[in-house]
Structure 1
Amino acid sequence: MPSISARIPDDDNAELEAVIQLLDEEKSTVIRKALSEGLQSLRQRVAIEQYQSGEISVNQAARVAGVSLADWLTIAREHNLTTQLAPADLDEDAAAAREL
């Protein structure tokens, strides 16, 4: 497993220590969990923004978010997302839906 190092502000370090105590886990475990959850959150946020702006289709948004098409549709519904799709986008999304 690769190793990284990073400098963090004092406020973030205090928050990290609080979460370590809350979870009663090792610092490295908490950092790995926070990084994983943070990366997933960032992917989802980018997918939401690009989908809402019409830059990407439903299928592409699911790929950007790193989730299944069914999970993306749930995310989109939870965020009341709407977009204008081109006919080619609909064809691509329909093909992806048939694969489910």
Structure 2
Amino acid sequence: MPSVSARLPTDEKEELDAVAELLDEDRSTTIRKALREGLAELRVRRAVERYQTGDASVAEAARIAGVSLGEWLEIAHERNLTTQLAAEDLGDDAFTAQEL
């Protein structure tokens, strides 16, 4: 497994240690979990932004978020996203959904 290092301000290191203790895990495991969850959230956030501005279709937003089309629709529903679909997008998304 490759190694990555990062410098943290004292307060963030203390928070990391507190969460690691709370989870009864070592610091490395906690960092990996936080990174994995944080990266997933960043992908979803970017997908939401692109979808809301009309720069991404439903299928493209799902790809950006790294989730299935069904999972994206759940995310969109949970976040009360308004649809940005044009008629041609529906055809593209239907085609993409069939391929999935």
Using structure 2 for the length normalisation, give the TM-score: 0.93
- CA–CA distance in 1 between the matches of 2:61 and 2:46? 9
Aligned-partner residue type, residue 24 of structure 1: D
Taking only the aligned residue pairs, the percentage that are identical comes to 63
Deviations 1:15-45 (A, max 9, x none): 1010011011111111000000000000000
Q: How many pairs align?
A: 100
Which segments of 5 or more consecutive residues in structure 1 lack a partner in the other structure? none
Paired residues of 2:47 and 2:62 also in contact (CA < 8 A): yes
> 1:1-100, aligned counterparts within 5 Å?
1-99=1-99
**CA deviation after TM superposition for structure 1 residue 97, in Å:** 2.5
> Deviation above 6 Å: which 4+ runs of structure 1?
none
Give the 3-state SS of the residue equivalent to 1:4 in structure 2.
coil
CA RMSD of aligned residues (A): 1.2
Give the 3-state SS of the residue equivalent to 2:25 in structure 1.
coil
Aligned-partner residue type, residue 59 of structure 1: A
Deviations 1:67-93 (A, max 9, x none): 000000000001111133233321111
Using structure 1 for the length normalisation, give the TM-score: 0.93
**CA deviation after TM superposition for structure 1 residue 98, in Å:** 2.8
